[in-house]
């Protein structure tokens, strides 16, 4: 046994979160725990609140997880004890109220057929209804996350069906929403994506071992070869016989890959659905330069996810690209800090202006998005105080107008600045000389010619699934309040 390690319960994420999952089926007698550790380290950008690793050798599951970053949670002594043929890991962040160790992943459960371990990225839209059904049947929940609902559905279906993969297939007919899952049973590693393919998951190979990962950058980090993406609706089963694919749920619905993976979430060196994230973001910048040109002396990007689009804007416009903002590398992404006050504190110490590069110049500042509006005014003040003559902002995504229910921390409409202010008003509030967003009709260009459907509901309100019943009413109420209330500032 491992000190402070849990063989049993605990789990994952709450509503509106983004996470990273990684798993290995080890056929090379390698150190599985350490391979997952390096995989999670490379997925740290997807979640900086908690992390965990679980390993198994047939009947025994060993697990360690805690709040914090991957290198802070794990050390050599812990990893030395995380040995086993199969291993899965998870990095996580949550919204306010869900920042608890008990909600960290992987989720390890025990039931009639043995141990079931799940790492989950995404959110279900019918989790509350399913949870209510289970509670009425006497089930006890030890977390507040929908991953535990998934575990109960799989366990119930496994008792009635001959294999874990059949149980997962049945689960996919019951739950609705977004999910990229890695499931570890005593003898199998299984990956699956929801039928819309909203969250990414790919397959890699390292020697004789197989790997599942949220992003291809993690495959590169552990020296694995990218094989392919898991298809929307596909179940991939890895065991001693190799890989088996189950496509019962494939092709029944048009795919709806989260476009925000290309805009913000994924690392620039990753490929999503075969598309280079770096080149996609450059294309967003090029489209901005075509749609919203402005005379200026220098184009700068807001570190880090605005930089690639800024390069694209520079290349298209012919205006030189330069470094205008310096990032404190030891501060996490303010967008994924769990509370508003933490986001605001993070902005204050995260960035500083490079005075020698911007003094006396007309600046085009490119960023990936404006959500609540927390950061914009401070960035403009930084640049003005450093001597910028003009500050023009270009955003490589459309205005956020609707909340996300599929695993992205896009808040309710009353907290979205674009719902409460026009572009002209935001320009004035933030102290900008001009502001322009990427057009919704240009989002398809980010696919760089690849043929897959994408979800843009946070920009358009065109949701690809049913919504949670409580949220449907909340959205209507919020929309009424927005119309009734006077304009207000969220900066």
What the block records as the tokens of 176 is 């609705």
- Give residues with Cβ within 8 angstroms of 359, minimum separation 6: 386, 387, 388
Per-residue b or e along 331-349, where b marks 16 or more CB atoms closer than 10 Å to that residue's CB? ebbbbbbbeeeebbebbee
Q: What angle do CA 3, 7, 8 make, to 5 degrees?
A: 135
For tokens 């004789």, name the residue.
208
Q: Is 19 a catalytic residue?
A: yes
Strand 189-193, strand 434-437: pairing: unpaired
**Terminal Cα distance for the chain, rounded:** 50
Report the C-alpha dihedral over residues 229, 200, 375, 428, rounded to 10 degrees. Answer: 80
Instruction: Report cis status (omega within 30 of 0) of the bond before 106.
Output: yes
How many angstroms separate the CA atoms of 160 and 409, rounded?
36
Interior angle at CA 355, CA 350 and CA 358, nearest 5:
105
Distance CA 237, CA 245 (A): 6
Residue 103 has which token pair?
A: 């909600």
Burial state string for 69-88 with b = 16 or more CB within 10 A and e = fewer than 16? bbeebbeeebbeebbbbbbb
Closest Cα to residue 171, out of 192, 186, 150, 187?
A: 150
The catalytic position among 19, 404, 455, 458 is: 19
Catalytic residues: 19
């Amino acid at each position: 046994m491992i000190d402070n390690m849990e063989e049993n319960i605990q789990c994952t994420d709450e509503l509106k979160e983004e996470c990273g999952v990684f798993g290995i089926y080890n056929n090379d007698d390698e150190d599985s725990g350490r391979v997952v550790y390096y995989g999670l380290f490379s997925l740290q950008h997807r979640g900086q609140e908690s992390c965990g690793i679980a390993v198994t050798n047939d009947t025994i599951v060993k697990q360690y997880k805690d709040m914090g970053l991957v290198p802070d949670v794990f050390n050599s002594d812990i990893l030395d004890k995380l040995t086993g043929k199969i291993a899965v890991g998870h990095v996580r962040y949550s919204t306010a109220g869900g920042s608890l160790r008990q909600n960290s992943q992987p989720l390890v459960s025990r039931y009639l057929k043995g141990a079931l371990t799940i790492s989950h990225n995404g959110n279900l839209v019918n989790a509350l209804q399913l949870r209510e059904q289970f509670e009425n049947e006497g089930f006890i929940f030890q977390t507040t996350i929908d991953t535990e609902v998934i575990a109960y559905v799989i366990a119930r279906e496994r008792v009635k069906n001959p294999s874990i993969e059949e149980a997962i297939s049945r689960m996919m007919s019951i739950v609705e929403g977004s999910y990229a899952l890695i499931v570890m049973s005593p003898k199998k590693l299984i990956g699956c994506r929801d039928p819309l393919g909203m969250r990414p998951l790919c397959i890699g190979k390292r020697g004789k071992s197989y790997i599942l990962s949220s992003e291809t950058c993690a495959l590169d980090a552990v020296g694995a070869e990218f094989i392919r993406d898991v298809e929307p609706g596909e179940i991939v089963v890895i065991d001693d016989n190799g890989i088996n694919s189950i496509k019962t749920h494939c092709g029944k619905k048009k795919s709806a890959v989260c476009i925000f993976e290309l805009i913000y979430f994924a690392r620039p060196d990753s490929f999503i659905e075969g598309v280079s994230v770096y080149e996609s973001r450059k294309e967003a910048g090029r489209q901005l330069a075509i749609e919203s040109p402005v005379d200026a002396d220098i184009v700068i990007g807001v570190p880090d996810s605005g930089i690639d689009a800024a390069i694209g804007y520079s290349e298209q416009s012919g205006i030189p690209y330069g470094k205008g903002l310096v990032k404190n590398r030891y501060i996490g992404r303010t967008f994924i800090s769990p509370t508003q006050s933490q986001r605001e504190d993070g902005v204050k110490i995260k960035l500083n202006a490079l005075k020698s590069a911007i003094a006396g110049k007309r600046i085009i500042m490119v960023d990936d998005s404006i959500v609540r509006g927390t950061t914009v005014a401070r960035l403009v003040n930084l640049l003005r105080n450093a001597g910028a003559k003009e500050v023009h902002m270009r955003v490589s995504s459309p205005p956020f107008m609707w909340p996300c229910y599929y695993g992205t921390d896009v808040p309710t409409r009353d907290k979205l600045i674009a719902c409460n202010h026009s572009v002209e008003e935001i320009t004035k509030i933030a102290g900008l000389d001009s502001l322009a967003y990427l057009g919704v009709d240009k989002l398809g260009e980010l696919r760089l010619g690849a043929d897959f459907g994408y979800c843009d509901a946070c920009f358009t309100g065109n949701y690809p699934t049913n919504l949670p019943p409580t949220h449907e009413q909340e959205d209507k109420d919020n929309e009424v309040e927005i119309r009734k209330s006077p304009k207000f500032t969220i900066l």
